[in-house]
């Protein structure tokens, strides 16, 4: 029989990961390969009104700027929930932004990007940066419908660009050394324009972005409230499709009481609580199911019985996540094989 001390040593890393990250898949997920150099900018089929639903933009538009108004409100609400999360790149010297680029990054990522640009001293052209939840919703729906030239797109809540920590830049080979010197990691030949920020002080905004939308929806639809649980589920997706592209009548409200535990900030390593980033700082495939908010810091104290109880919970969660991760990977492998045959 395995002693309790040996069992604790074996499961402690699992417990710490589950409690601090509240959601880890059985291995890192595949990166968000978008196979395109810029955000889509095709002409819309018909002019959209600000009150038109996002679902109409799926059918009638081919640019993520169609939801710029709603996206702006979402970012403002995130800033209410966690002030200082984002910094704007708009108008910054030394940078050129693509026409549909949302000019926002998490503040530590923007400061590092600015330092990388200063190191080379030439203009950096950015083709993609932050994507908001409604923007990623459009890209994924266009991909599924075979529209707008989108050959591959992640589901909402699964793209690194939604984290505000990723950029796509032109002339990527010339920028790799400068980017690496400032904590940006080149994704590789599979997506050569893409860099991810891995420095510290960042916020895992996967759940935060969803929570911001849920608060906006409930503020404007008290007759049709949804759970403010930070999870992108069917109820949230249904309301996102109904949301007005130009934004709600009532926008961000920083006076509204904040949730007790919004998704946490990482002090280093690019890690987060759930959503885009796992406890190691690597992107994981999932929204941290069952984790509405990150718990406080976890210490390695407590009685063996307490740890064993936690270990049981952690082991169950770990095995469930591993099974889910394996199923997703098998599905993706089958899809990739099918595409290669085509």
Residue 212 parent element (H or E)? helix 206-220
Residue tagged 């040593």 (tokens): 9
Record: fold of 29-294: Muramoyl-pentapeptide Carboxypeptidase; domain 2 (3.30.1380)
The pLDDT of residue 47 is: 81
Radius of gyration of the chain (CA): 21
Q: Measured between alpha carbons, how far is 104 from 163 in angstroms, rounded to an integer?
A: 11
The pLDDT of residue 323 is: 55
Note whether 240 and 54 are within 8 A (CB).
yes
> What is the CB neighbour count within 10 angstroms for residue 143?
18
First-to-last C-alpha distance (Å) of the chain: 53
The pLDDT of residue 303 is: 41
pTM of the model: 0.64
The pLDDT of residue 314 is: 44
pLDDT in tens, 179-209: 999 999 999 998 899 999 999 999 888 789 9
- 156 burial (CB, 10 Å; 0-12 / 13-18 / 19+) is buried
The pLDDT of residue 158 is: 81
Domain coordinates in residue numbering, the chain: 1-22+304-342, 29-294
pLDDT in tens, 234-286: 999 999 999 999 999 999 999 988 776 555 555 444 433 334 443 334 433 22
Strands (DSSP E) along 12-130, which ranges? 86-88, 95-97, 104-106, 124-128
The pLDDT of residue 56 is: 98
Q: Above 70 in pLDDT, residue 149?
A: yes
Note whether 85 and 262 are within 8 A (CB).
no
pLDDT in tens, 231-245: 999 999 999 999 999
Q: Measured between alpha carbons, how far is 111 from 53 in angstroms, rounded to an integer?
A: 35
The pLDDT of residue 328 is: 55
């Amino acid at each position: 029989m395995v002693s309790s001390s040996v069992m604790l040593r074996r499961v402690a890393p699992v417990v710490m990961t589950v409690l601090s990250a509240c959601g880890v898949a059985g291995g890192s997920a595949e990166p968000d390969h978008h196979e395109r150099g810029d955000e889509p900018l095709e002409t819309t089929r018909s002019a959209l009104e600000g009150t038109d639903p996002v679902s109409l933009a799926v059918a009638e538009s081919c640019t993520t700027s169609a939801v710029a108004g709603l996206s702006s409100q979402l970012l403002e609400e995130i800033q209410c929930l966690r002030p200082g999360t984002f910094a704007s790149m708009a108008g910054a010297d030394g940078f050129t932004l693509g026409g549909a680029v949302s000019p926002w990054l998490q503040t530590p990522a923007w400061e590092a990007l600015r330092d990388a640009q200063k190191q080379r001293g030439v203009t950096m052209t950015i083709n993609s940066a932050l994507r908001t939840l409604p923007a990623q919703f459009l890209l994924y729906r266009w991909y599924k419908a075979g529209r707008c030239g989108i050959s591959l797109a992640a589901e909402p809540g699964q793209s690194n660009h939604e984290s505000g920590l990723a950029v796509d830049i032109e002339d990527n080979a010339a920028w790799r050394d400068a980017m690496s010197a400032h904590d940006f990691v080149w994704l590789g030949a599979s997506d050569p324009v893409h860099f991810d920020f891995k420095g510290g002080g960042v916020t895992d905004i996967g759940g935060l972005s969803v929570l911001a939308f849920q608060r906006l929806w409930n503020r404007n639809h008290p007759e049709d409230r949804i759970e403010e649980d930070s999870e992108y589920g069917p109820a949230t997706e249904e309301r996102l499709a109904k949301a007005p592209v130009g934004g709600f009548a009532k926008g961000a409200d920083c006076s509204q009481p904040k949730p007790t535990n919004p998704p946490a900030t990482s002090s280093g390593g690019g890690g987060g609580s759930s959503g885009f980033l796992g406890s190691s700082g690597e992107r994981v495939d999932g929204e941290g199911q069952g984790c509405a908010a990150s718990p406080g810091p976890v210490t390695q104290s407590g009685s063996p019985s307490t740890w064993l109880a936690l270990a049981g919970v952690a082991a169950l969660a770990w095995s469930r996540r591993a099974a889910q991760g394996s199923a997703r990977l098998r599905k993706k492998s089958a899809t990739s094989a099918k595409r290669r045959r085509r």
